[in-house]
Every structure is written in C-alpha cells, then in structure tokens.
Amino acid sequence: MAVLWCLLGLLCVILLALLAAVIRTLLGPKKRSDYVPVPDPARAMVYAEKLSRMVRVDTVSVPDTNQREKFLQFHRVLEELFPLVHQRLEKTEIDGNLLFFWKGKSSQKPLVLMSHQDVVPAEGEWIHPPFSGDIADGKVWGRGTSDTKCSVMAFFQAAEELLAEGYVPENDVYLSSSCTEEWAGDGCPKLVAEMKKRGVRPFLVVDEGGGIITEPIKGIPGNFAMLGVFEKGKADVLLRATSNGGHASAPKAHSPIARLADFVHEVETKPVFKRRMSREVSAMFETLAPYASFPLRLVFGNLWLFRPVLLKVLPMISAQGGAMIRTTVAFTMQSGSDAFNVMPQEATLGANLRFIPHQGMKESLAVLEKLAKKHKLTMEVFHASDYTEPADITCDAFRTVERTVAQTFPGCPSSPYVMTGATDSRFYQDICDCVVRFAPVVYGPEQMQGMHGLNETIEYSCLPGAVDFYKNLIGNVR
C-alpha cells in the first residue's frame, strides 16, 4: 500500500510539473522572426559584380601543395576591386595567405575579421559553370559564393567604404584570410604566428561558421543569426580486423567483416558517448523557444523539466541537434576482400569523430578503443585535434556582436550555437578569448545544400547587409 501511495504521489508531482510547464508556455511570449534583407538593388548589384569577379578566379586548394602563384592571381583581383584597402592598409602576404593591418586610434581592443580565399573542388554537372560567377535569378552562382568569398568581399568592401569616408577606427582592425582552410592546412597558423610575433591579442575575432540561417531547427520558421561559439574537435580513425582468410564456401564465424559490422551496430544502437547539454546549447534552445510551434516551445522553453527527455530523443529526431550534445562518430570508408569468393585476411573501417567539450579527444578515443578491443579490432588515429574552448556568451566582445546583429538586421534574433564542423578560427583561440563564427549573409536551404555540393549560390540581396554588418562592427568595438 505504501508503494502505491508513493507512485500516486510521484504521478501527482509529474502532472503538476507538466501543468506548470504548459501554463508557463501559454503565458510566455510568442515571437516571430520577420527579418528579410531590405531591398537595395543598386548596392546589391555592385557587390554582386565584385563577388562575381572573385568567384571567376579558381582558388581550389590542394593539400600539401605550394599554390602561392595561384593565390597571387586572386590577390591581384582583390587589389583591383579594393584599391584603397591596398593603398592605405599595411599588407602582409605569407605563402598566399593575407593579413591587412588598419591602424586605429587605440590598440587596446584589436578586431580581427577573417574568412578564407580557398574553395573545394567543383565536380558534377552545374546549372551555371562553377567558376563562371554568373549573376542570374537574383543570385551569384559558383564555387565559393557562399563558402566564403561572400564574407571576404563584404569585409574588404566595408573597409573600402570607410576609408573613402576618411574614417579612422577606434581600435586596430586586422583583415585575415588564409588559402588552406578547406584542408586544415598551415595557412592560418602562419598568420596567427605573425600576430603573436607582433604581440597582438585580439579583443574579438569574427570568422565564418554560423550565419543568418533560415529555419535553423525544423518547426522554427524565419531567419536567425546563429553565432558559433565553439568548435568540436575531430579525428580520423582506422579500425582493422584480421584473420587467416580462407575460401568463402566454408566461412568461419567472427570473420573480419562480421566483427566490424558488430562494432558498427553497437556504436549506432547504444549510447556509447555521454550526452550533456552545455550552457551554450541550453541558451540556444531557450533563445529559439519563443519563435517555435507550441510543442517545441513547450519543450525548449522548459528545460528544467524536459532536459532529460530531450537528451534522450534529440539524436533520434535531429542529426544536427544530436551532434550538439555528444561526441559523434561517422563511418565513412570500408574495405575487405578483392573477390566475392575469398574471405578477407584483413578488413578496415574508416571513421570520423567529432569531440564535445564534456567528453574531449582523449576520453572519446579511449571509449572507442575499448569497444574496438571488445570486438577484437585494432585502432589507429590520424589528424586528431581537440575541441576549442567556448566563447563566454556574457562577455563584452560577444555582446558587441549581438548588438551589431540587432543594429544591422532589425527583427533578426541572434542565438549562440555549436559548430559541428571546423574552421580556421580555431587557430586564433591561442591569442583570443572570444572567437565568434558568423558570416553575416542569409543561408537558406538552397545555400546550405550548395556548400561543398552542386550549384553553390548566394542571393545577392543579402550582400548590402553583410557589408553594413562589418562597418557597424568596426564602429562598435570601442
């Protein structure tokens, strides 16, 4: 009887908590993101033509290859498009990587605006040739339009316009652009080493990564400025299973491929890595909650109640959401026998891991290796790097970015979020406490799909806002 009363008491507590959450949600504000770029066709076309010129220069980067001459060609185009920047700012070129220094009234709060010059290869059949830079249907077409020559164009143009006005920034400004970002090369580290040599410690670094994302989570319509506050770490891992091989007509149990398959099945069906909601992810859900449909508003707006449920179900309903709360592993390559009727003496499996701060590189790799040994596999690790420390979302530098978003894009909410990919900005973490990943352009579904894929585009109506964002940010760092 006592157990029954305890269960009834617990049920009452749960129902009361649920009722409180529902009432809180119903009484809470229901908001709507109504930001769309303000039409400015004359400026937009000027910027579209400049971006088109930049896209027409093929800047595909090849790993571990000296391509300085290729990027010097791109630099000559930049000099034609932004003459005042090249005349009045101090330019440093290191193996194709660029750093411009704009002396301000003070050196107390240096600002770094950065984005990369290089692009990934363009394969397949495109509607417009990938290096045409065609301007059609309200868009600039081509490889690099959205990733990320749009940002390079925008902050160079911002500096160009301010210089034409005779403007002197309150604090030093640096324009930084590497040519090896797409293969995690040594370009940006060389620029950071140059900054270290000069004794520069930036107040704020703004790179690509986030953006003005259309419907960042299904069920939350509108445009939102998603500010990336840290990057997950990453590693490539090769798992290997061996045996004596043999003829396929008499297969032995626990063959290499079978052991690899068992390993994959366990990783994908059991909670191998810890799930935890960081302060930054909690802030994202709470920020987006008022803009969501009622069910999402109920859950996201009442994490005090639904956090345990969300941690359990999020990876099942959203790959992007699941990646923000745990280390992930993606199986990407596999090899075995060369013939249908031959049992392999060796089979391999390639995997890509992304490490979350609450279970970083060392611990995550140890978890995977323990599981590999259970299935009699060996593990080899390549290209490993840990997560970056999160930016403090309450600090003055981050608040400056938020204020600039509100100033430049009226009606566009901003929210912190976790970068599940990797950018050059992680190298600046050595010398800067606040690194924010945000490209001030609109990325709708078409732009998200075209990045590193076919038919990459950017809608040129958003380019004036991008230029204005950088101009405002330069003025707001005081």
Which range, of 57-61, 142-146, 262-266, 295-299, averages the lowest pLDDT? 295-299
At 97-116, the pLDDT tens digits run 999 999 999 999 999 999 99
Helices (H), 145-300: 150-164, 187-198, 256-269, 279-288, 294-300
At 414-459, the pLDDT tens digits run 999 998 888 999 999 999 999 999 999 999 888 988 888 999 999 9
Burial of residue 438, with CB atoms counted within 10 A of its CB: 0-12 exposed, 13-18 middle, 19 or more buried: buried
Q: According to the model, what pLDDT value does residue 335 have?
A: 93
Residue 448: which residues within 8 A CB-CB, separation 6 or more?
213
- Of the two residues 357 and 24, the one the predictor is more confident about is 357
For residues 326-335, average pLDDT:
94
At 354-384, the pLDDT tens digits run 999 999 999 999 999 999 999 999 999 998 9
CA distance 211 to 414: 10
CA angle 117, 400, 293 (to 5 degrees): 90
- pLDDT of 19 above 80: no
Q: According to the model, what pLDDT value does residue 252 have?
A: 85
Q: What would the two tokens of residue 383 be?
A: 């290209």
At 225-237, the pLDDT tens digits run 999 999 999 999 9
- The second-level CATH assignment, the architecture, of 41-230+388-476 is 3-Layer(aba) Sandwich (3.40)
CA distance 440 to 209: 10
- pLDDT of 246 above 80: yes
3-state secondary structure of 237: strand
- pLDDT of 319 above 90: no
3-state secondary structure of 114: strand
Euclidean distance between the first and the last CA atom of the chain, given in angstroms as a whole number: 68
Instruction: State the pLDDT confidence band at 8, using cuts at 50, 70 and 90.
Output: low
Tokens 């300085």 locate to 68
- pLDDT of 300 above 70: yes
- Of the two residues 47 and 320, the one the predictor is more confident about is 47
Q: According to the model, what pLDDT value does residue 7 have?
A: 63
**Phi/psi of residue 331, each to 5°?**
-90, 120
Candidates 3.40.190.170, 3.40.50.300, 3.30.460.10, 3.30.70.360; correct CATH number of 233-273+331-386? 3.30.70.360
CA distance 22 to 309: 16
- pLDDT of 253 above 70: yes
Q: According to the model, what pLDDT value does residue 274 have?
A: 96
Give the mean pLDDT of the chain: 93
Q: What would the two tokens of residue 145 be?
A: 């339009």
Instruction: State the pLDDT confidence band at 158, using cuts at 50, 70 and 90.
Output: very high
- pLDDT of 3 above 70: no
For residues 374-403, average pLDDT:
94
Q: What does the radius of gyration of the chain's CA atoms come to, in whole angstroms?
A: 25
For the ranges 6-10, 50-54, 338-342, the maximum mean pLDDT occurs at: 50-54
Name the residue type at position 268.
E
User: Domain-by-domain residue ranges, the chain?
Assistant: 41-230+388-476, 233-273+331-386, 275-325
Contact 420, 324 (CB under 8 A): yes
Instruction: State the pLDDT confidence band at 139, using cuts at 50, 70 and 90.
Output: very high
Q: According to the model, what pLDDT value does residue 4 have?
A: 63
At 167-198, the pLDDT tens digits run 999 999 999 999 999 998 999 999 999 999 99
Q: According to the model, what pLDDT value does residue 321 have?
A: 86
For residues 263-285, average pLDDT:
94
- Of the two residues 202 and 314, the one the predictor is more confident about is 202
Q: What is the largest CA-CA distance in the chain?
A: 86
Q: According to the model, what pLDDT value does residue 452 have?
A: 85
Q: According to the model, what pLDDT value does residue 23 have?
A: 84
Report CA dihedral (355, 357, 358, 364) to the nearest 10 degrees: 20
